[in-house]
Structure 1
Amino acid sequence: MQTFRFRKTFGAELLADEQTVFTLWAPSSDEVFLEIEGMAAQKMRSDGQGHFSLKAACGAGARYLFRVSGGQSVPDPASRSQPEGVLGPSVVTDPDAYQWQCPEWQGRPWNEAVIYELHAGLLGGYSGISQRLDELASLGITAIELMPINSFGGTRNWGYDGVLPYTPAAPYGSPDELKSLIDAAHARGLMVILDVVYNHFGPEGNFLPVYADAFFDHEKNSTWGTGIAFDKPEVAKFFIENVLYWLMEYRFDGVRIDAVSAISDHTWFGALRERVKATVEPGRHVHLILENENNDAGLLRDGFTAQWNDDGHNALHVLLTGEHEGYYKMFSKDPTQDLARVLAEGFVYQGQFNPYSGKNRGMASGDLPATKFILFLQNHDQTGNRALGERLLALAKPEAVKAAYALLLLSPMIPMIFMGEEWGCLTPFYFFCDFHGELAEQVREGRRKEFSQFAAFQDKKNRNRIPDPNALETFEASRPERAARETETGTTWLALTRQLLTLRREWIVPYLHNVQSAGVHVLGVGALYARWRLDAGKILTIFMNFSENQYDILETYHLIYESSENRRVGLLPPFSLVACMEDVA
């Protein structure tokens, strides 16, 4: 069977004949010793530039630590395996040991993407996710996206507090079990995308400041902590190789890079794109996805696959719920017009002043095809960063959510749904972690302080209703309730999901190679229709009404979907959506 390995510059690389080469960049240390379990410590060779290396007589399964200046023993920052967690020893692994069952998999073109975001721990780890793949594929999902799986402190976490970017978190399963999940997904035609975090490290288990303070840029701190010095060649290479490692050794079909706005050195993105292009096999589809508060359309023009469209979510959320606190204030003035701009041009904010941040935000995006934008109604951020983790169906009229769901799955933008959304899940999704002692108290109180500016939580008694992120019950309460799939509501939503994704596959996906807006027209508050030019002379028109009013609409050709069973010809009822496809000369 074909095997895959990406030879990293950093960490432990297994050679033949029970030999392993160890490499560590430790510019803050004068000397470094390699400690292999059962063997005497060995001094590593220095090149005088902060790089330490040594070839040692050990093979797969050897446990090791690096002892740096000051006598502290630390795990490998590029460790492939940490079975005892981020505070334990690293383990030498043989990347060639796993026998791939789908080595010829080439991925899928981006226009076919229908993304399902999930949290590995809540779905039972890698083996638990594997058990869900058949049902997801049968619904019409074509890609699963894993929230970050890099190792973190404790046994449960969203993943954004990770400290070892190369190490799959042990609570979810072994490295080979992760490969088996990816293999199983590919066997069912599903892509697998990984969320990666390069803008900060978590608060527990990050030893880099001890021996590599130059890894950080203390003048460019972000919301999440000390800035990272991407302008340093070793740092830039560390993260570029991390992307290549996941794409090549684990065969992920793409990565979603978290909080791109916190990465200040933009030359890194060009270098990443070039290395990926030069490394990935010809003909294989891999996708580089961004989450970027800056709405940097330039990165999308330069070849990055797509960006999460927070503007689209926010405009729809305000229309559906009427909420206007926090960052929703940015979209509260005229959410209908904001949605119109999203559907026509991608971003709402294209350089204008942002009252929430007090700065100008974004750049022009109207020339970009709709497939450069990933649209969603819910995700881990927009649900879990609420104080009480409410799902959208708990906040808005179900019939309005149904119309928005149809827009999500039928628009030319790439749709993403959040685990459980396909059956109308009402289980909250909370922020959770597993810290202890003073750190746990800081996280708990910080979470409550964060929401003190909101009207509902200005009273201390109400703030105490916010679940403790560190409590095991907070994690358990976030598991999507599977039993709800079998209820009348659950089966109705599943049928709707299957119907809409079937329509998308048959009517829309084949014509998504060069999509451009053909105009958007506002009918009234909460109501509008949008048109797109697709391939082969197709025109897709979607009429949508998220209000309680009724509107006249133009007669169109070839109706492919309508959400209202009682729609009268020429009328758009409250909380409804109508989609039509035309052939034009």
Structure 2
Amino acid sequence: MPFGAQVLEGGRVRFRLWAPAAERVELLLQKPEAGAIARPMESREAGWYELTSDEATVDDLYRYRIDGSCAVPDPASRCNPDGVHGASQVIEPGLFAWTDGNWRGRPWEEAIIYQLHVGAFTAQGSFAAVTERLDHLVELGVTAIQLLPVAAFAGAHGWGHDAVLPFAPAATYGHPDELKDLVQSAHHKGLMVLLDLACQHFGPEGNHLSAYAPEFFAPPTTGRAGRSIDCTRAVAGEFLIHNALYWLEEFHVDGLRLDAAWLQEGAGESDLLETLADAVREGPGKHRHCHLLLGHDPRAVRYLHWPDHSAPRRYAAVWNDAVQQAMQDVLTGAAAGAAGTVRPLEQLGACLSRGFADSGAGRLLPTAFVSFLQDYARIGDRALGERLHQLTPARPLGVLVATALLAPMPPALFMGEEFAAAQPFLYFCDFNPDLVKDVARNRRQSFAHLQGFRSARTRARIPDPTDPATFQRCKLDWNSINRSPHADWLDFHRRLLAVRRREICPRLAGMHEEAVRHSLIAGRGLSIRWTLGDDSVLSLLANYSGVQLDGLQRPAGSVLWAEPREAEQALPQGRLPPWSLLWFLQDAA
């Protein structure tokens, strides 16, 4: 990296900091035998300061002192063992003994994603504890774990989107080597590891960089939401590109999900997403599968297109919030006792057949869209953090689960979804109390327009995000997976994913963009037909309502899945019971 602390050949350490607003910068090196020693850094052009030291060694702690007053951590720190306000640590990444040298990743068509928050996934809330649970994920049948942002943020817990040291794994989760061990342990078990990146935004606490490099950030907005990087500046763009490559190269992760803030209207050399994709393709992507994903945004489409069929896509897929919305709208009707409404089904049919519900998706492969019923944001943005199984009857939910997990789009689960975890996923943070003294009141007030939260008394039920108990309530209870109904839901997901891995994933490569047809059935059901990459045909016949469908024709092929089982028995009479579906697979002629 062109910045931060870099151990050079021979053991010397080069320190480099961009501080254009500083008059002078010193390195404060903390030596166990000598205490803190200060060494001036040489001023270079364009606001850079640099020092190559014979005194610094691996594992030493250090800070930068700006203009003789404030001492700050390294914004490119690889490790900050005492949190974002503490000293940074010199790390030599080459010392970690990797054992996954034969791993080349998995093709995107095999992706079955499990999204998790490291702090809430286990009682311990650490990288090491996630490693201990990998066998559960293998037995579940997923092929990739996706970690919510893990870079260092203020406090002991948070969602991870308020990081201020984008290169340092959060100390509350463990040492960088423990994250590397998680990654290589996953690889040994056949699991990819994907990582959410939120490096384009710095949180409201611990952003020391803004004091000596204010032009690194876009103009501040009102409130306490933190600061966004000014991507139009060359040094900021370089910082983001190196951050992405850092996780792929030094931590061997198999892919990154970039949120919509990375998307820009411009093209050409100023387009960070194109620059990043080219850097990945010419770097770690030359030797193994490296999958780049985008958060939901209509502008993502142009990064997913094939320029022609001889060139690879820049990005593998986009997370499709539209299909989540359509599925949840269908389930909302079920929970309210409605017979089904046409509009959500039109949206669902469009999402399952062409990705986004609008026509802007154009000619894209189904595998270019990650589909999911619920994720951390949709659950966490609810006032009480409820999961879908707590909001809707079991039978409609089972039908939608079977829809999402067997459609050609790569599916994603949110941690605990597979066993209908009783724990909510709430918004939680641990900022300085003086900084966020109004966070609970503001959050509660944001729900005041909703029925059920219009009085101060009802809003008081909404958990305080800054209360440590709010975070503790979100930790999964792994003891529940052996009890009903949790064990039943777990078995249901395992069986569905076994069918997907065996019958669907091997047939996805080679699909064409326009090989999908869908139609509505009496405003209450869907019929969709996909021609897969090996010319086999996958068909869905589903009734998403509480009213029986009649006069149906059986699609060609053998039954791949019936939900519930009696749905298969009714179809010869041209009927499909309320809330039921059938999947069919016809081999190529």
TM-score (norm 2): 0.91
1:289 corresponds to: 293
| Aligned 8 A contact 2:127 2:178 in 1 | yes
Deviation at 1:535, TM superposition (A): 1.6
Select between 297-306 and 179-188 the one with higher mean Cα deviation.
Answer: 297-306
Which one of the candidate residues 471, 474, 478 is aligned to 2:470? Answer: 474
- In the alignment, the residues of structure 2 paired with residue 311 and residue 222 of structure 1 have an alpha-carbon distance, to the nearest angstrom, of 29
2:8 corresponds to: 15
Instruction: Report the number of matched residues.
Output: 559
Deviation at 1:292, TM superposition (A): 3.1
Deviation at 1:221, TM superposition (A): 8.8
State the one-letter code of the partner of 1:23: R
| Aligned 8 A contact 1:69 1:211 in 2 | no
Which one of the candidate residues 320, 328, 338 is aligned to 2:347? Answer: 338
Identity %, equivalent residues: 37
Task: Give runs of ≥4 in structure 1 deviating > 6 Å.
Answer: 219-223
Written as runs of structure 1 = structure 2, the 5 A alignment for 1:223-302 is 224-260=225-261, 267-280=271-284, 282-301=286-305
Cα distance change, pair 519–85 in 1 and its aligned pair in 2 (3 A): same
Deviation at 1:295, TM superposition (A): 4.7
- In the alignment, the residues of structure 1 paired with residue 73 and residue 446 of structure 2 have an alpha-carbon distance, to the nearest angstrom, of 33
1:147 corresponds to: 148
The reply to whether residue 380 of structure 1 matches residue 376 of structure 2 is yes
- In the alignment, the residues of structure 2 paired with residue 388 and residue 251 of structure 1 have an alpha-carbon distance, to the nearest angstrom, of 36
The reply to whether residue 40 of structure 1 matches residue 37 of structure 2 is yes
The reply to whether residue 318 of structure 1 matches residue 332 of structure 2 is no
2:584 corresponds to: 580
Deviation at 1:510, TM superposition (A): 0.9
1:554 corresponds to: 553
The reply to whether residue 510 of structure 1 matches residue 506 of structure 2 is yes
Q: Output one character per residue of 1:112-154: Cα deviation in whole Å (capped at 9) or x when no partner.
A: 0000001111123111111111121122110001111000001
Cα distance change, pair 507–533 in 1 and its aligned pair in 2 (3 A): same
| Aligned 8 A contact 1:230 1:264 in 2 | no
Q: Output one character per residue of 1:507-533: Cα deviation in whole Å (capped at 9) or x when no partner.
A: 111111133442111113442121111
| Aligned 8 A contact 1:558 1:581 in 2 | yes
| Aligned 8 A contact 2:199 2:243 in 1 | no
State the one-letter code of the partner of 1:307: V
Which one of the candidate residues 20, 25, 37 is aligned to 2:18? Answer: 25
- In the alignment, the residues of structure 1 paired with residue 334 and residue 295 of structure 2 have an alpha-carbon distance, to the nearest angstrom, of 23
RMSD: 2.1
Q: Secondary structure in 2 aligned to 1:218?
A: coil
Cα distance change, pair 323–90 in 1 and its aligned pair in 2 (3 A): farther
Q: Structure 2: which 5+ residue stretches go unaligned?
A: 306-312
The reply to whether residue 537 of structure 1 matches residue 544 of structure 2 is no
Q: Secondary structure in 1 aligned to 2:52?
A: strand
Cα distance change, pair 424–555 in 1 and its aligned pair in 2 (3 A): same
State the one-letter code of the partner of 1:85: G
- In the alignment, the residues of structure 2 paired with residue 116 and residue 128 of structure 1 have an alpha-carbon distance, to the nearest angstrom, of 16
- In the alignment, the residues of structure 2 paired with residue 542 and residue 222 of structure 1 have an alpha-carbon distance, to the nearest angstrom, of 48
State the one-letter code of the partner of 2:493: T
2:440 corresponds to: 444
Q: Output one character per residue of 1:296-341: Cα deviation in whole Å (capped at 9) or x when no partner.
A: 31121252111110000001101101499xxxxxx99811111111
1:360 corresponds to: none
State the one-letter code of the partner of 2:198: V
- In the alignment, the residues of structure 1 paired with residue 262 and residue 321 of structure 2 have an alpha-carbon distance, to the nearest angstrom, of 13
| Aligned 8 A contact 2:334 2:392 in 1 | no
1:492 corresponds to: 488
Cα distance change, pair 262–448 in 1 and its aligned pair in 2 (3 A): farther
Written as runs of structure 1 = structure 2, the 5 A alignment for 1:358-369 is 364-369=360-365
- In the alignment, the residues of structure 2 paired with residue 26 and residue 183 of structure 1 have an alpha-carbon distance, to the nearest angstrom, of 36
Q: Structure 1: which 5+ residue stretches go unaligned?
A: 1-7, 325-330, 351-363
Q: Output one character per residue of 1:414-471: Cα deviation in whole Å (capped at 9) or x when no partner.
A: 1000111111223211111112322232322221122122222221111111101111
Deviation at 1:268, TM superposition (A): 0.7
Which one of the candidate residues 396, 401, 407 is aligned to 2:397? Answer: 401
| Aligned 8 A contact 1:222 1:262 in 2 | no
Select between 365-374 and 480-489 the one with higher mean Cα deviation.
Answer: 480-489
Cα distance change, pair 499–464 in 1 and its aligned pair in 2 (3 A): same
2:422 corresponds to: 426
| Aligned 8 A contact 2:130 2:182 in 1 | yes
| Aligned 8 A contact 2:263 2:300 in 1 | no
Cα distance change, pair 11–375 in 1 and its aligned pair in 2 (3 A): same
- In the alignment, the residues of structure 2 paired with residue 77 and residue 262 of structure 1 have an alpha-carbon distance, to the nearest angstrom, of 23
| Aligned 8 A contact 2:149 2:160 in 1 | yes
| Aligned 8 A contact 1:513 1:535 in 2 | yes
| Aligned 8 A contact 1:228 1:263 in 2 | no
- In the alignment, the residues of structure 2 paired with residue 16 and residue 378 of structure 1 have an alpha-carbon distance, to the nearest angstrom, of 48
- In the alignment, the residues of structure 2 paired with residue 466 and residue 332 of structure 1 have an alpha-carbon distance, to the nearest angstrom, of 31
State the one-letter code of the partner of 2:558: H
2:53 corresponds to: 56
Deviation at 1:84, TM superposition (A): 0.3
Q: Secondary structure in 1 aligned to 2:461?
A: coil
Cα distance change, pair 504–574 in 1 and its aligned pair in 2 (3 A): same
Q: Output one character per residue of 1:51-73: Cα deviation in whole Å (capped at 9) or x when no partner.
A: 11110121111111111136211
Q: Secondary structure in 1 aligned to 2:438?
A: helix
Q: Secondary structure in 1 aligned to 2:118?
A: coil
| Aligned 8 A contact 1:287 1:305 in 2 | yes
Deviation at 1:219, TM superposition (A): 7.9
State the one-letter code of the partner of 2:554: E
Deviation at 1:566, TM superposition (A): 1.9
2:309 corresponds to: none
Q: Secondary structure in 2 aligned to 1:334?
A: helix
The reply to whether residue 566 of structure 1 matches residue 570 of structure 2 is no
Deviation at 1:374, TM superposition (A): 0.4
Deviation at 1:262, TM superposition (A): 6.5
1:347 corresponds to: 356
State the one-letter code of the partner of 1:436: N
- In the alignment, the residues of structure 2 paired with residue 152 and residue 228 of structure 1 have an alpha-carbon distance, to the nearest angstrom, of 16
The reply to whether residue 483 of structure 1 matches residue 482 of structure 2 is no
- In the alignment, the residues of structure 2 paired with residue 433 and residue 21 of structure 1 have an alpha-carbon distance, to the nearest angstrom, of 35
The reply to whether residue 465 of structure 1 matches residue 464 of structure 2 is no
| Aligned 8 A contact 2:406 2:500 in 1 | yes
State the one-letter code of the partner of 1:130: T
Select between 569-578 and 412-421 the one with higher mean Cα deviation.
Answer: 569-578
State the one-letter code of the partner of 1:205: G
2:310 corresponds to: none
Cα distance change, pair 376–16 in 1 and its aligned pair in 2 (3 A): same
State the one-letter code of the partner of 1:573: P
Cα distance change, pair 483–222 in 1 and its aligned pair in 2 (3 A): same
State the one-letter code of the partner of 2:505: V
Q: Secondary structure in 2 aligned to 1:551?
A: coil
- In the alignment, the residues of structure 2 paired with residue 229 and residue 30 of structure 1 have an alpha-carbon distance, to the nearest angstrom, of 22
TM-score (norm 1): 0.92
- In the alignment, the residues of structure 2 paired with residue 199 and residue 239 of structure 1 have an alpha-carbon distance, to the nearest angstrom, of 7
Q: Secondary structure in 2 aligned to 1:42?
A: strand
Select between 234-243 and 258-267 the one with higher mean Cα deviation.
Answer: 258-267
- In the alignment, the residues of structure 2 paired with residue 85 and residue 238 of structure 1 have an alpha-carbon distance, to the nearest angstrom, of 21
Q: Secondary structure in 2 aligned to 1:172?
A: coil
Q: Output one character per residue of 1:217-251: Cα deviation in whole Å (capped at 9) or x when no partner.
A: 21889995544211111100101001110000100
